[in-house]
Structure 1
Amino acid sequence: MTQTTINLETAPGHQVLAAAGKKILRPGGKCATKQLFQWANFQPDETVLELASSFGYSAIALVQRFGVKVVGVEKNSASVARARANIQAAGLSDRITIIEGDIFQLEAIPGQFDYVFAEAILSMQSAPGKAKILSGIYAKLKPGGKFLSHEMLADNKETEIHEQLARVIKSNTSPLSQANWIATYANAGLQIKQHETGGMALLNLWRMIQDEGLFSTAKILWNVVTNSQIRQRVLAMRRIFQKYQQDLGYIVLVAERN
């Protein structure tokens, strides 16, 4: 059974899922991120700023696959330490730098980048929070640079879905409609070049097997079944996803700095 020190009754949903053993915490799963990277068309030695880089897994994968250079910003000091250890173990300390910092204070990070990359970050913010982060992203992009974004989508009933998600996930989760995401980015000076939407994949069993692998999925299910607190929280999230399955999903966007 998963051992954790977090309060499973009050922790945000992504921490509960992580406590269950889930590593892929993206609303569209790996395939949506793969589409985002195909659109990006990374070139070797281009620079990427990754927001909320966690344990460094995405940064490592980006460098290994595309030969880019990555700067990751992560607020949690324990995650920073783990990310740096993972990067050193991968032999990529010369290609990846992890900075302990706040995504609301991107001005503290030196330089500009060819890309900024963020997944399920803006969905967790209020409207002013979204605007603040996007302003920082705009400033960190080179002219013509691209913001690669993977977020939650609420095609209808935005207010109702926000209220239900906030209650169940216990965070200020505020997904937008496709039109409102595009408008929000445009207000920050970011022009959408490509975008795609799809259904919520976070707790879809088949997608979990694709993303996590069969063995890891079995471990996650075991942890959910055997830990009553995790089970209650995960089932509550799943009920919300099912209730709004026609309206709730993911969106991936490539936006260019004007």
Structure 2
Amino acid sequence: MTHDTELPMGSRPIENVAGHWVLARMGKKVLRPGGRELTERMLGAVPVEGRDVVELAPGLGLTARAILDLGPASYTGVDENPEAATIVRSVVEPFGRVVNGDAAHTGLPDDSADVIVGEAMLTMQTDRGKSAIIGEACRVLRPGGHYAIHELGLKPDDVSDDIKNTVRVDLARAIKVNARPLTLVEWRAALEAHGLEVVFAGTAPMALLDPKRVVADEGVRGALRMIVNVLRNRRARARVLGMRRVFRTHRDTLTAVAMVARRPLGDDTEKENEE
């Protein structure tokens, strides 16, 4: 397990820390809503080998390691939290690099990446924040490049606004972050609004804290280690049980969504090809 002092939680009491870092402190490594399996499906739909890859908010570096295993030409992680960046840097160096930056203002050059990956981070943004990050991804992507996301979703597509608001309020209280998940149709529309073409869409149950998913994601030893850590820490146990209760209460509405969208070649590129 990663030691507490290595996690980007500062000196804040565990009652006020974002839920994903509470889980990380307890030893959970897979922090994506659809688990390891949906991440693998998403990456399988992206041409990574020999490509320049950027990952936004790479977390603890689990997906970064999976990306490197696919043989990219380069890997660049972008994280605004210096401590988180340090964790991922220890995972990817010397084969990749990690820079400090905002996902909406990465500082990376225009048209400099073939693939951009972002997981469980757009969900935490307002509609304006989502649009800013997607727009930044489009700026950094080369024409023909791919943007892959793995986020928290809502179902069915016609779920009422009242239910959406209830889910969002309950999530905010449990995970201490103003999560704003979207339906599958809404996630697609958010990408298409920036001219991207969705080429892959997949879903998985949002079962982040269900025992079977924990074992599948962490392995038996990892799952047991997490359980022991939770049992030993009363305050963390209250947070984890609170999150699990909300996830179970809204299990018929919450889902996990992965999409891969392609930036079209565009008129300028097509004209250059004709010349």
Asked if Structure 1 and Structure 2 have the same fold, meaning a TM-score greater than 0.5 normalized by the shorter chain, the answer is yes
State whether residues 191 and 197 of structure 2, in contact with CA within 8 Å, keep that contact through their aligned partners in structure 1: yes
CA distance in 1, matches of 2:174, 2:165: 14
Partner of 1:116: 116
State whether residues 147 and 262 of structure 2, in contact with CA within 8 Å, keep that contact through their aligned partners in structure 1: yes
State whether residues 48 and 70 of structure 2, in contact with CA within 8 Å, keep that contact through their aligned partners in structure 1: no
Q: Residues 77-96 of structure 1: matches in 2 within 5 Å? A: 77-88=82-93, 93=94, 95-96=95-96
Partner of 2:136: 136
State whether residues 154 and 161 of structure 1, in contact with CA within 8 Å, keep that contact through their aligned partners in structure 2: no
Partner of 1:63: 68
Q: How many equivalent pairs are there?
A: 251
Partner of 1:181: 187
Shift of residue 83 of structure 1? 2.6
Shift of residue 253 of structure 1? 0.3
State whether residues 48 and 67 of structure 2, in contact with CA within 8 Å, keep that contact through their aligned partners in structure 1: no
CA distance in 1, matches of 2:225, 2:139: 42
Partner of 1:46: 51
CA distance in 2, matches of 1:82, 1:193: 32
Higher Cα Rg: structure 1 or 2? 2
Shift of residue 115 of structure 1? 0.8
**Alpha-carbon spacing, 1:210–1:98, altered in 2? closer, same or farther (3 Å):** same
Partner of 2:228: 222
User: Which consecutive segments of 4 or more residues in structure 1 shift more than 3 A?
Assistant: 1-6, 54-57
Please list every run of 5 or more consecutive structure 1 residues that lacks an aligned counterpart in the other structure: none
Please list every run of 5 or more consecutive structure 2 residues that lacks an aligned counterpart in the other structure: 6-10, 265-275
Shift of residue 192 of structure 1? 1.1
Shift of residue 55 of structure 1? 4.1
TM-score normalised to the size of structure 2?
A: 0.86
Q: Which amino acid aligns with 1:74?
A: D
State whether residues 171 and 246 of structure 2, in contact with CA within 8 Å, keep that contact through their aligned partners in structure 1: yes
Q: Given the alignment of the two structures, is residue 16 of structure 1 paired with residue 22 of structure 2, yes or no?
A: yes
Deviates more, 1:30-39 or 1:51-60: 51-60
Shift of residue 62 of structure 1? 1.3
CA distance in 2, matches of 1:55, 1:218: 20
Percent of pairs identical after alignment?
33
Partner of 1:32: 38
Shift of residue 3 of structure 1? 4.6
State whether residues 158 and 177 of structure 1, in contact with CA within 8 Å, keep that contact through their aligned partners in structure 2: no
Q: Which amino acid aligns with 1:132?
A: A
Q: Secondary structure at the match of 1:105?
A: coil
Partner of 2:199: 193
**Alpha-carbon spacing, 1:55–1:26, altered in 2? closer, same or farther (3 Å):** closer
